[in-house]
Amino acid sequence: MLLDPSTSSSGSEPDYVAPFVDSAPARQVNIRFGERLQGLRLQRGLTDQELATRMVMPVDHLIDLESGRRSASIVDLEGFSHAFKISISELLQGL
């Protein structure tokens, strides 16, 4: 666990700092994943609304994923792999 000693909500212990979350490399991964996701959706002839409905997720969440504004969770990855009938490793191929 990474800690940032300069900040503390309790005053005695530093707060947890998640690595790689808001960095340029993380944003690039999000953008590449979004492009991959959109490509897979379009290959299958699905609208964003149709895929969001299949995934039982708000369409805004899907749009944010496809645009790279949001990071996919493990649950998202598993859901997309089932929706596209591919493995998670195939889903992440080329990232």
pLDDT by residue (tens digit) across 13-31?
A: 445 444 555 678 888 999 9
Is pLDDT above 80 for 7? no
- Can you give the pTM of this predicted structure? 0.74
pLDDT, tens digit, for every residue of 60-93?
A: 999 999 999 999 999 999 999 999 999 999 999 9
Q: What is the mean pLDDT of the chain?
A: 83
Burial profile 57-84: b = 16 or more Cβ within 10 angstroms, e = fewer: beeeebbbbbebebbbeeebeebbbebb
pLDDT at 6: 44
CA distance 43 to 51: 12
